[in-house]
């Protein structure tokens, strides 16, 4: 049954699904799966035809044999079930429970935290710095999800306290990786096997590195070694193909951490 993926190259949630596909031996767009690329800069994810597939108005969405699967972490578990080799989920029930706890943490903490610098460093300069309050409010009202996120952000972006809190959550995530790799003996978070935990966290760490915040995991040697192993896997290069990082895709609007500090003082 054909796989179709509605996605955006620079979306962290799209990237983790591409990582899972690559780990399953299905890395090639146009060959292993049909790509429908959505331009988030033009808000194509809010077009009526797409909202019929995904009423949340976010990417990615997976189509498989007539079934529509939404929510990236759900898609990861679905792919591991329908393409069981190589397995990315432990066979032992207790270990599966540990993995799911990591996935829930990943959704609730670092995934949400990464949005703050992503929007502050790139999305706001691209769309909203020159918008008036009425246009910004009108856009926020269009969003099926994250309306409150936009309203909290405002068209000037997030402030220093919000960014500091987000970086603190990313640091906590990195410290948990450091501890897990050490306690379990590595080389991966769950121990000997690369799992969906790596798949979920990789795009988030990559985004922080791309934005210039890699200093967040300084002094965490096991975390740094884990990250080096991640980038050495073939799936990393397959999922993060040229043009799929924010710095590559939105160079005109992209602001690194150093540039943001110079412009706004934080």
The pLDDT score that the predictor gives to residue 15 is 98
Where are the domains positioned within the chain? 3-82, 93-264
Residue 164: C-alpha distances to residues 117, 158, 161, 170, 203 (Å): 10, 10, 5, 10, 20
The CATH homologous superfamily for domain 3-82 is Glutaredoxin (3.40.30.10)
Residue 210: C-alpha distances to residues 20, 145, 189, 203, 207 (Å): 21, 25, 22, 10, 5
Closest CA to 166 of 101, 115, 240: 115
Pairing of the two strands 67-70 and 61-64? antiparallel
The pLDDT score that the predictor gives to residue 1 is 66
Residues of the chain with pLDDT below 50 are none
Instruction: Give the C-alpha separation, 114 to 203, whole Å.
Output: 10
Q: What are the DSSP calls for 70-94, one per residue?
A: ESHHHHHHHHHHHS-SS--S-SSHH
Instruction: Give the C-alpha separation, 256 to 222, whole Å.
Output: 25
Please list the alpha-helical segments (H only) found in 86-220: 93-108, 110-118, 124-127, 133-142, 147-153, 160-184, 196-211
The pLDDT score that the predictor gives to residue 186 is 92
Name the fold adopted by 93-264: Glutathione S-transferase Yfyf (Class Pi); Chain A, domain 2 (1.20.1050)
- Tell me whether the CATH fold assigned to 3-82 matches the one assigned to 93-264: no
Instruction: Give the C-alpha separation, 235 to 196, whole Å.
Output: 13
Structure confidence by residue, pLDDT tens digits, 81-113: 999 999 999 999 999 999 999 999 999 999 999
Taking the alpha carbons at both ends of the chain, their separation in whole angstroms is 49
The pLDDT score that the predictor gives to residue 125 is 87
The pLDDT score that the predictor gives to residue 137 is 83
């Amino acid at each position: 049954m054909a796989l179709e993926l509605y996605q955006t190259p620079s979306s962290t949630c799209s990237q983790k699904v591409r990582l899972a596909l690559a780990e399953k031996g299905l890395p090639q767009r146009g060959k292993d799966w049909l790509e429908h690329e959505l331009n988030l800069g033009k808000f194509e994810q809010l077009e009526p035809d797409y909202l019929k597939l995904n009423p949340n108005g976010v990417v990615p969405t997976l189509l498989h044999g007539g079934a529509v699967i939404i929510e990236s972490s759900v898609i990861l578990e679905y792919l591991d079930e329908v393409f069981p080799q190589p397995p990315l989920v432990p066979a032992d029930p207790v270990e599966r429970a540990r993995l799911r706890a990591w996935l829930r943490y990943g959704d609730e903490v670092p995934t949400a935290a990464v949005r703050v610098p992503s929007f502050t460093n790139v999305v706001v300069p691209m769309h909203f710095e020159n918008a008036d309050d009425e246009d910004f409010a009108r856009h926020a009202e269009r969003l099926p999800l994250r309306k409150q996120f936009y309203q909290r952000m405002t068209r000037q972006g997030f402030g220093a306290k919000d960014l500091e809190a987000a970086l603190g959550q990313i640091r906590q995530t990195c410290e948990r990786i450091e501890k897990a790799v050490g306690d379990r003996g590595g080389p991966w978070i769950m121990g000997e096997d690369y799992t969906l935990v790596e798949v979920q966290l990789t795009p988030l760490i990559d985004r922080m590195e791309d934005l210039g915040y890699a200093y967040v995991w300084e002094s965490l040697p096991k975390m740094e070694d884990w990250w080096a192993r991640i980038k050495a896997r073939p799936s990393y290069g397959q999922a993060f193909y040229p043009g799929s990082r924010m710095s590559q895709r939105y160079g005109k609007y992209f602001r690194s951490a150093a540039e943001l500090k110079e412009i706004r003082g934080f």
